[in-house]
């Protein structure tokens, strides 16, 4: 028997008021929830004072690597989670979304953070903003860790995914987390959390766990530096969001609420088209996966009025093949709801909807307790019946809604006042454009499917780590995920202003116009650890000749008139023949590259190239190479040497000190030393 306990201030709290937790399959006792009388003020202080400073000392990439290694640790233990997950009513297919989907999300957020965010304790966001004519006063946005705690309140339907998709970005942002799962299915979240603690990967105090029905007086102790991320019903979410202390302290609050998501069959689609079958399959799938207990499930099926009968018959045929039963059986396609209480609640909500709709399919389940059959409802006048757009039955059901025009389809989709996701099945890209742009203001994500994209589609109901998950209006108005953006939700964006040199010292990244120092050795002779941000190399000079232009044109095949036609060039904006911009780029490389073998392994990219002044035959150019920023790269098994990535700013000036070209080159530079993260995957 599992005993679900709180983990607070570095200890498991074993004593507490006990509540029996039952299996959704047969109602047998499965676990005990021990709800302790916790000191929430002390819990918050422990997170802020114990883990907060340690996390903020680490770089974003160091924190991201810990999440990667944690995800790997959990993935190795997934089979134990699958066995336990079946008691929540989930089939193997359902559980994959929660278990491996959650772990993959953690992997994905870690990867996105390392790819897109600074390898510093803070993130230097975007380019600098010049604020003065001479450039001595400039601005830069940075995102820094908040000095608070991330409180995460999760719904019952995805105990693992909900926990990991919040924990990962908060930790990478440098914030410790207090995790409060729903009591329903909390034994699964607790089991994973126990493995997180046992792994020893995360610093002490960076995660705590509340085993309780409600969060007590936790919200009374939150401050302006804290963040709350809530997933669940709109009613509960709005109640918590309006808590007096949340309002008084302007505590950042991200609300992701269940919504009445829709899927639209395009007006161009006929029953003989692939898009029709894809649509029916997706609607039926979203009704039955997790027994319809998904915040992204399709509650409103919007269909051209002339296609209603076709869709109904096709859905009935597919639902008739859905086997309801024990989720541990391979033949089962839909298990029970998460509890008998959830089944009763689903039944009550469906009953309310049947008062304003027609029931056209009521699947039997042949079982009692938490099991429920699929329901298809039909609303003949969906523009006039508000209940179908505001009342959600959280289970295996959908309401079919006919429409007469593309404009009416958009109006119906938007009538629910905001949702997490909408989808459209059409073979006509003009229809796709019209309906997508019409629906976009009311949906956090909008998926458009045709025969070309369906094969690799992740599906209507699948949030992806690299894309935003959230929605306006009823859906909560918040955002989660979105790749590196999910990390920035937990950080404070600050605009800093000052001289370029001062800002370079503050940010740890070169700012254009900052005073730099000459390198004591050619930068290409230095290992990664030896390179310092802000050091530079100034090259020898080179005078550009007409022969250079002719030879480069012959080699490249670029005989553009401005380089070769003296008469036409006189009438151009240059006034005479000019050197190729790419010749200037190539000549600059020849001037700053050190040709002998050394720590620089390769140049793998170029960014932000601008040709700012023309270079004429007879002009003399000189290059300044500046170390801009650095990122450590994890050494993998197939990497011959450990290395890091170094960005060099390149400035090419003419004899008048005018900037002819500027850009950034990306290089791989060998490291002297191995790090703990090397060979970690």
318 CB neighbour count, 10 Å cutoff: 18
How many Å apart are CA 267 and CA 256, to the nearest integer?
Answer: 31
Q: Is the separation of the CB atoms in 6 and 210 below 8 Å? A: yes
Q: Which residue has the tokens 């796709």?
A: 432
- Measure Cα distances from 365 to 19, 312, 313, 327, 332 in Å: 29, 20, 20, 13, 11
What region does 157 belong to: left with phi over 0, alpha with psi -120 to 50, or beta? alpha
295 is catalytic: yes
Which neighbouring-strand residues pair with 611? 661
Q: Is the separation of the CB atoms in 542 and 621 below 8 Å? A: yes
Number of H helices and number of E strands within the chain? Answer: 21, 28
| φ, ψ of residue 535 in degrees (nearest 5) | -85, 155
Which neighbouring-strand residues pair with 582? none
Buried-state track 457-483, b at ≥16 Cβ within 10 A, e below 16:
eebbbbbbbeebbbbbbbbbbbbbbbb
Q: Enter the tokens of residue 173.
A: 């942002």
Q: Is the separation of the CB atoms in 287 and 318 below 8 Å? A: no
Catalytic residue among 256, 275, 480, 535: 256
Catalytic residue among 143, 186, 295, 379: 295
Q: Is the separation of the CB atoms in 133 and 115 below 8 Å? A: no
Three-class secondary structure of residue 537 per DSSP: strand
How many Å apart are CA 90 and CA 104, to the nearest integer?
Answer: 19
What region does 258 belong to: left with phi over 0, alpha with psi -120 to 50, or beta? beta
Q: Report the largest interatomic distance among the alpha carbons of the chain, rounded to a whole angstrom.
A: 92
Q: Calculate the CA dihedral of residues 607, 613, 617, 619 and round it to 10 degrees.
A: -100
23 CB neighbour count, 10 Å cutoff: 20
| φ, ψ of residue 361 in degrees (nearest 5) | -160, 130
Q: 328 CB contacts (<8 Å, ≥6 apart)?
A: 25, 86
Which neighbouring-strand residues pair with 446? 422
380 CB neighbour count, 10 Å cutoff: 14
CA geometry: angle 630, 634, 635, nearest 5 deg: 120
| Beta strands 535-543; 600-611: pairing state | unpaired
Q: Which of 570, 104, 255 is nearest to 562 (CA)?
A: 570
Q: Enter the tokens of residue 410.
A: 């958009």
Three-class secondary structure of residue 42 per DSSP: helix
Q: Where are the alpha helices (DSSP H) in 323-428?
A: 340-354, 387-390, 406-414
560: Cα separation from own chain's centroid: 45
Q: Is the separation of the CB atoms in 465 and 481 below 8 Å? A: yes
How many Å apart are CA 56 and CA 173, to the nearest integer?
Answer: 8
What region does 483 belong to: left with phi over 0, alpha with psi -120 to 50, or beta? left
How many Å apart are CA 70 and CA 75, to the nearest integer?
Answer: 9
Residues recognised as catalytic: 256, 295
């Amino acid at each position: 028997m599992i005993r679900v306990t709180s983990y607070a201030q570095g200890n498991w709290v074993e004593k507490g008021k006990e509540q029996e937790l039952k299996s959704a399959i047969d109602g047998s006792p499965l676990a005990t929830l021990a709800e302790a009388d916790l000191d929430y003020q002390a819990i918050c202080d422990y997170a802020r004072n114990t883990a907060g400073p340690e996390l903020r000392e680490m770089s974003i990439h160091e924190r991201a690597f810990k999440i990667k290694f944690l995800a790997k640790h959990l993935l190795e233990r997934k089979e134990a989670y699958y066995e336990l997950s079946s008691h929540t009513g989930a089939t193997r297919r359902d559980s994959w979304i929660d278990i491996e989907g959650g772990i993959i999300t953690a992997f994905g957020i870690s990867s996105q953070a390392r790819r897109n965010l600074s390898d510093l304790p803070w993130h230097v966001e975007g380019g600098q903003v010049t604020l003065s004519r001479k450039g001595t006063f400039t601005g830069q946005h940075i995102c820094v860790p908040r000095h608070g705690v991330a409180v995460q309140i999760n719904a019952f339907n995805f105990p693992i995914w909900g926990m990991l998709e919040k924990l990962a970005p908060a930790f990478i942002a440098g914030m410790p987390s207090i995790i409060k799962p729903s009591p329903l299915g909390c034994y699964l979240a607790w089991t994973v959390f126990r493995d997180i603690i046992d792994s020893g990967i995360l610093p002490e105090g960076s995660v705590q766990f509340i085993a309780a029905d409600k969060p007590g007086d936790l919200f009374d102790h939150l401050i302006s530096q804290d963040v709350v991320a809530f997933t669940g019903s709109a009613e509960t979410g709005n109640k918590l969001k309006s808590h007096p202390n949340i309002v008084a302290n302007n505590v950042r609050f991200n609300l992701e609420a269940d919504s009445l998501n829709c899927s639209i069959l395009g007006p161009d689609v006929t029953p003989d088209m692939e898009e029709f079958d894809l649509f029916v399959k997706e609607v039926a799938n979203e009704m039955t996966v997790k027994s319809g207990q998904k915040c992204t499930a399709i509650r409103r099926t919007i269909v051209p009025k002339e296609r209603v009968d076709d869709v109904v018959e096709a859905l009935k045929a597919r639902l008739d093949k859905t086997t309801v039963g024990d989720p541990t059986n391979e033949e089962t396609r839909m298990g029970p709801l998460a509890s008998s209480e959830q089944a009763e609640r689903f039944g009550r909500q469906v009953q309310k909807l049947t008062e304003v709709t027609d029931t056209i399919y009521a699947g039997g389940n042949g079982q009692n307790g938490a099991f429920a059959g699929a329901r298809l409802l039909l609303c003949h006048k969906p523009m006039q019946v508000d209940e179908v757009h505001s009342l959600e039955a959280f289970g295996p059901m959908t309401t079919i809604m006919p429409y007469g025009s593309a404009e009416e389809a958009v109006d119906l989709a938007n009538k629910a006042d905001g949702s997490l996701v909408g989808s459209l099945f059409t073979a006509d890209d003009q229809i796709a454009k019209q309906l997508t742009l019409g629906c976009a203001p009311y949906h956090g994500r909008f998926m458009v499917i045709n025969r070309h994209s369906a094969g690799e589609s992740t599906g209507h109901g699948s949030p992806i780590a690299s894309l935003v998950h959230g929605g306006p209006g009823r859906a909560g108005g918040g955002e989660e995920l979105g790749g590196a953006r999910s990390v920035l939700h937990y950080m404070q964006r600050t605009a800093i202003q000052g001289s370029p040199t001062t800002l370079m010292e503050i940010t740890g990244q070169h700012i254009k116009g900052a005073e730099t120092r000459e390198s004591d050795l050619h930068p290409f002779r230095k290992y990664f650890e030896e390179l310092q941000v802000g050091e530079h190399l100034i090259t020898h000079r080179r005078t550009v000749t007409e022969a250079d232009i002719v030879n480069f044109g012959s080699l490249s095949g670029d005989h553009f008139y401005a380089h070769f036609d003296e008469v036409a060039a006189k009438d151009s904006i240059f006034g005479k023949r000019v050197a190729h911009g790419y010749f200037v780029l190539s000549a600059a490389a020849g001037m700053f590259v050190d040709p002998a073998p050394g720590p620089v392994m390769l140049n793998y990219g170029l960014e932000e190239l601008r040709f700012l002044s023309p270079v004429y035959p007879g002009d003399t150019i000189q290059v300044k190479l500046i170390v801009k920023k650095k990122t450590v790269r994890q050494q993998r098994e197939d990497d011959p040497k450990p290395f890091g990535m170094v960005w060099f700013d390149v400035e090419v000036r003419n004899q008048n000190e005018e900037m002819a070209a500027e850009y950034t080159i990306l290089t791989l530079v060998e490291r002297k030393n191995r790090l703990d993260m090397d060979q970690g995957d």
